[in-house]
Amino acid sequence: EDQVTQSPEALRLQEGESSSLNCSYTVSGLRGLFWYRQDPGKGPEFLFTLYSAGEEKEKERLKATLTKKESFLHITAPKPEDSATYLCAVLSGAGSYQLTFGKGTKLSVIP
């Protein structure tokens, strides 16, 4: 059974204090890994797709990386508006596809 584990569950940062969120996975046949941002009372918003180990993608203060077992979402010099829950999802399988979501990391950036 595919498993996606995100850590930590919650993270509090001071504004400007860089850190990383982790998404570790155990799946059969990785086809892609997605990162989403979810604000309170809203639906998840797509950030990145990563396809293979070694791949990196950046958007403003966010940088996502992928290895064979995990992905990191690096947040550089975060601002209060970066506060949200970040979700990781893994697409796996060949023929019968499975998209498995992690439980998310709730990030709070304190001014």
Partner 1 sequence: NAGVTQTPKFQVLKTGQSMTLQCAQDMNHNSMYWYRQDPGMGLRLIYYSASEGTTDKGEVPNGYNVSRLNKREFSLRLESAAPSQTSVYFCASSEGPRGYNSPLHFGNGTRLTVT
Provide the CB-side half-sphere exposure for 25 (13 A, CA): 30
The reply to whether 45 sits near partner 1 by the rule CB under 8 A is yes
Interactions with partner 1, residue window 81-110 (CB under 8 A): 87, 89, 91, 93, 97, 99-104
Contacts of 42 (CB under 8 A, 6+ apart): none
* Span interacting with partner 1, options 20-28, 43-51, 55-63, 76-84, rule CB under 8 A: 43-51
Least distance from partner 1 to the Cβ atom of residue 46, Å: 4
- Sheet strand arrangement including 19-26: 3-7, 19-26, 70-75, 62-66, 56-59
Query: Residue 21 forms beta bridges with which residues?
Result: 73
Provide the binding-site residues for partner 1, judged by CB under 8 A. 4, 31-32, 34, 36, 41-46, 49, 51, 87, 89, 91, 93, 97, 99-104
